[in-house]
Every structure is written in structure tokens, then in C-alpha cells.
Amino acid sequence: MKFRFALAFVAALALQAHAHEYQAGDVHVEHPTARPSLPGQKNGAAYLTLENKGTQADRLLSASSTVAQSVQIHSMKMEGDVMKMREADGISLAPAAKVAMQPGDGYHIMLLGLKKPLKIGDKFPLTLIFEKAGKLDVSVWVEGKAASATHAHH
């Protein structure tokens, strides 16, 4: 138990050391990342944390990137015992709302038709469009383990 706690603590520190963040209007964007792609893998996914620090609701409307043919906002949900993924009509951000995207649950930014493989250490541009905060260009860092089979259901 102690050992596991120590590991989690070290992982949290490592994550902080590598964090990068952005601000557009009242919307704060933290640490956009993507997993490296496996050989032959056509699609990828990016994850980031959105936080509305203002007093008015905002909404992530869409995202785009030169790294993929098209980019969609997806949400994942368990339906019975099957994980289903579908295109989301944006992500609403109520005042003080925080949306932390992570592999295997909730929202992610789907990169459809990768133009080149994503390798650890790569950085690629992602443009986010918010209803009120407007346009925000962020850099997505490719890190971590290769995307697992949980995201192969396309």
C-alpha cells in the first residue's frame, strides 16, 4: 500500500514538471497530450484539461489540426458492458467547470486519419474554437505508452 502511494506521488510530480498550459479569455487549458501511435494505426486521440475560470458559461465548439485529416470531439460511455464512443456536439463549460480528459473515459479529441505516426517527444499544433473565448492554438505533446486496444474500436 505504501509503495503504491509513493509511486502515485512520484507520478504526480513528474506530471507537474512536464505540464504546459494556455489561457483564452476565461478558459484555461492544461497539458494537451497524445499517446504515441502504433505502426499502421490510422487514428489517434488527444487529451487535455479545460477549466472555465470565468462567471459565464462557455463551450468548446470544435478542434482542428494539421496532423490529421479531420478532428472530432468524442465522448466515451459504458453502455451495459460495452464502451461506446460517439461524436459530441461540443463540450459545455459552466462557470467553474473543469473537464479533465483521459484515456478510456469521458471526452477526448479524436484525430482521424493521421498524416504521420505520432512518436514520443513529437509536438503538434491543435486549434481549439470556443464559443466565447474564441480561437486558441495549443501544442500537443506526444508522451506515455502507445494507445491501447481500448481505442481501436473505430
Tell me the CA distances in angstroms from 126 to 13, 18, 72, 141, one per residue in order.
26, 18, 12, 10
Name the residue among 120, 130, 153, 126 with its Cα closest to residue 18. 120
Does residue 35 bind Cu ion (CB under 5 A)? no
Question: In this structure, what DSSP letter does residue 153 have?
Answer: -
- Binding test (CB under 5 A) with Cu ion, winner from 44, 74, 124, 141: 74
**Contact pattern from residue 107 through residue 146 relative to Cu ion, giving x for each residue in contact according to CB under 5 A and a dash for the rest:** ---x------------------------------------
Cβ of residue 85: shortest distance to Cu ion, in angstroms? 5
Cβ of residue 114: shortest distance to Cu ion, in angstroms? 13
Q: Which is nearer to Cu ion, 49 or 75 (CB)?
A: 75
**Contact pattern from residue 89 through residue 108 relative to Cu ion, giving x for each residue in contact according to CB under 5 A and a dash for the rest:** --------------------
Q: Which class for 17: exposed (0-12), middle (13-18), buried (19 or more C-beta within 10 A)?
A: exposed
**Whole-number Å distance between alpha carbons of 82 and 79:** 5
Binding residues (CB under 5 A) for Cu ion: these are 74, 85, 110
